[in-house]
Chains A and B, each alone.
Chain A
Amino acid sequence: MPDFGFKLQKDRQIDFDANDRSATRAIIETEPTFRLCIACGTCTACCSAGNFTDFSLRRMITGLKRGNYEGVRAMADQCMLCGKCQMLCPRGVSTRKLVLAIRKHIR
């Protein structure tokens, strides 16, 4: 291949039609309060694990909604299930059950 001095940029477009969101649908069936999330970030702000690692429930939820599961399972394993986020969630999302559902449906 000739040396062009540049290369294709990886496309960062989120293609909802192309992404397989079947695991997200299974998670919603297991834990319907997932739908209540408004991505306010309270869970992430109060997270003890997130203070010391890159764990972020909000980022996980964003990935799930987009059908982008890369790194979601590894992140879900970092949760200590302390439940602080569940106490503070203004929408009543059952975050502990959500994390367990993620662990169940995403390999």
Chain B
Amino acid sequence: MKKEGKEQLWKDYQKEIADDRYFYVRSCVRQNFFPGSETAFLKILQEELGKDVYEHPCHTTCTGIGYHADVVPFDTAMTVVARQFAIMTESGYHNLVPSCITSFGLYTEILETWKHFPEVEARVREYLYKATKRDFRVPENLAHASDVIYKFRSEIAAKGKFRLVHHETGRPLKVVEHIGCHYAKMFPDKGVGGAEYPYVLTGMIEEWGGEVVDYPERRHCCGFGFRQYLVQANRGYSMSCSHKKFESMEPYAPDLILTNCPGCPMFLDRWQYAISEMEGKTYGGDGQGIPVFTYEELAGLVLGYNPWDLGLQMHQVACEPVLDKMGIPYDAAAKYLDKHGHSLGQPLQPQKLKV
């Protein structure tokens, strides 16, 4: 699609993103997959931008994984989400910011359901009251954490120490942007830029100096889709989806992949290892893979944070090629040391993929 067409679409799909006072709800799985991302988000918002972000210790899962895996009924999911709203209300906040794309999708789905079926909302209020004696107000503003980083992308660029350009040649880095399915595919008007060509990550990449790669399978799912992954024998479906994307993006030789979902970076990163073992194929240059980043990690790199504080040593595909291209200094010897300087142990080496 031509750039002018996309710009028109992006204009049609704009959303309001709150300016301050966020009630932040974490993801169930991101802290295991990419342990530095959520911490980096809080640091950027609170320390760099001076925003009020509040986390409540009693926040629980939204049940999105169980809901999409058909083990949690919708009424249960709605009641659990109503409890999160109640905690937010009790804390005096109105702007909900989920870290997880599936949480964002589930919150959106529930709010849309209540909008069209007020009797369902009344029923859920009754369930919540009977179970916990709590009441709630629905959020005034619901924005995914990537929406918030998108909103402040210019401020981050202004404070940034590095840009998405090759520090020696000045060439913009070629970036594949991959949006989580639950961000805008269910409710296109709830995502920045709509469902076909979401702008949320593209906006960050352009602002930070990179060049977005437009490849045929750009909107294809990464393959996470909970039921595809939860049963081991089905994981071939999941990996085949990622494989299709890698094959499609390979001719464009991207420097990195940027994602905004818990599952996408996990699978686009780890499946490169599994595919290399099964097929002997790697997609980066010189036997390496294509590094995959979350938007918080990339924002942290732009701001000059230590890559190992961002948790980049937990990636399967080595991130060093991108650090070298951007000219980010790093201590290779400290990659597997914890914050006290103790060794975390060395990971096993893959047979094919160079890390």
Decide yes or no: A6 and B239 within 8 Å by CB, A1-B351, A11-B244, A13-B244 being known contacts. Answer: yes
Decide yes or no: A8 and B278 within 8 Å by CB, A1-B351, A13-B244 being known contacts. Answer: yes
B55 to chain A, nearest CB (A): 37
Check if A4 sits within 8 Å of B244, measured CB to CB.
no
A4 to B277, CA, bound (A): 10
Is B233's beta carbon under 8 Å from chain A?
Answer: yes
A7 to B277, CA, bound (A): 11
Check if B274 sits within 8 Å of A4, measured CB to CB.
yes
Check if A7 sits within 8 Å of B278, measured CB to CB.
yes
Within 8 A of A (CB), among B201-255: 232-237, 239-240, 243-244
Within 8 A of B (CB), among A1-37: 1-2, 4-9, 11, 13
Check if A9 sits within 8 Å of B278, measured CB to CB.
no
Is B275's beta carbon under 8 Å from chain A?
Answer: yes
Which chain A residues lie closer than 8 Å to B275 at the CB level? Answer: 8
Is B279's beta carbon under 8 Å from chain A?
Answer: yes
B-side interface mostly: helix
Of chain B, the residue at the smallest CB distance from A11 is: B244
Check if A6 sits within 8 Å of B235, measured CB to CB.
yes
Check if B277 sits within 8 Å of A2, measured CB to CB.
yes
Check if A9 sits within 8 Å of B277, measured CB to CB.
no
Which chain B residues lie closer than 8 Å to A5 at the CB level? Answer: 232-233, 235
Which chain A residues lie closer than 8 Å to B236 at the CB level? Answer: 6-9
Of chain B, the residue at the smallest CB distance from A2 is: B277
Check if A8 sits within 8 Å of B232, measured CB to CB.
no
Q: Per-position contact with A for B270-309: 1 when CB-CB < 8 Å, else 0?
A: 0000110111000000000000000000000000000000
Which of A's residues lie within 8 Å of B, judged by CB? 1-2, 4-9, 11, 13
By Cβ-Cβ distance, the 7 closest A-B pairs, closest first, are A9-B240, A6-B236, A6-B235, A5-B232, A1-B277, A9-B236, A7-B236
Q: 23 pairs across A/B with beta carbons < 8 Å?
A: A1-B277, A1-B278, A1-B351, A2-B277, A4-B235, A4-B274, A4-B277, A5-B232, A5-B233, A5-B235, A6-B233, A6-B234, A6-B235, A6-B236, A6-B239, A7-B236, A7-B278, A8-B239, A8-B240, A8-B275, A9-B240, A11-B243, A11-B244
